Amino acid sequence: MNRAHRSRDAEAAVKRVQDAGFENITADLIYGYPLLTDTKWKHNLQQIFEMAIPHVSAYSMTVEPQTALASFIKKKLYAPMNEAQSAEQFLELVHQMQSHGYEQYEISNYCTPGNYSRHNSNYWKGVKYLGIGPSAHSFNGISRQWNVANNSKYTQALANNTIPAEQEELSEKDRLNEYIMTSLRTVWGMDLHKIDSISKGASEELAKGAEEFFDKGWISQKDNIITLTETGKLYADKIASDLFF
């Protein structure tokens, strides 16, 4: 994959931090690309379990424009991504994680009991957060701001008692759509009361758009919470985008 490190380097890094006494660590995995056979994918997962890593983020390979990989695929030097392969490896991931005691608390995130990522969970739940330092982002529920990326400009601005940041005010529609997108991906689901707190009566309109997904068995509802089914997780992006206001 043209990475700067090899598999043995990644494994050595995990063992070094564990030897230093760190137990609460996370590993990232990528699946769904042609070079990754199902056998290799199962081997990667087995390594995670053998090293007892308590938190795992696993993402399907995507090809970003204007990257080396995109160029290689266009020139037919690499095979294109295979959606069917990605779906099969995702299902294998879910099965293996569940059988080894990991909870899939967000579509791409898995943990042993209680080891949720506090950082990412706050994003998905829409919790307010403050970012300090160059490039850091902050969110207060109705607006988002991001600090200048340049280290020198950042420190100079602080010396002049100014905050070197740009700000974006989120419209009611923005806040609704962001909540739909993030909440549906989690085990906690989308709260219809929360939808109505952002925009009064919006849950009624959303319910109409959700009918087809109930019929397909992609989503389910308990009380006021809507969550994705196992099959629905394969179509999470489509479901969210179709429910957008």
How does pLDDT run across 79-134, given as a tens digit for each residue? Answer: 888 889 999 999 999 999 999 999 999 999 999 999 999 988 988 888 899 999 99
The confidence score (pLDDT) of residue 18 equals 96
Are 220 and 187 a contacting pair, CB within 8 Å? no
Query: What pLDDT, on a 0 to 100 scale, did the predictor assign at position 196?
Result: 96
Residues 142 and 170 sit within 8 Å (Cβ to Cβ): yes
Phi first, then psi, for residue 97 (nearest 5°) are -65, -45
Question: Looking at residue 1, what is its pLDDT?
Answer: 66
What pLDDT digit, counting tens, does each position of 137-168 carry? Answer: 999 999 999 999 999 999 999 999 999 999 99
- The domain ranges of the chain are 7-116, 123-169, 172-243
Q: Tell me the per-residue pLDDT of 2-51, one tens digit each, with 9 for 90 and over.
A: 778 888 999 999 999 999 999 999 999 999 988 899 999 999 999 999 99
Any idea which architecture 172-243 has in CATH? Orthogonal Bundle (1.10)
Instruction: Determine the pLDDT at residue 123.
Output: 87
- Class assignment of domain 7-116? alpha beta
Cα 244 to its chain centre, rounded Å, is 18
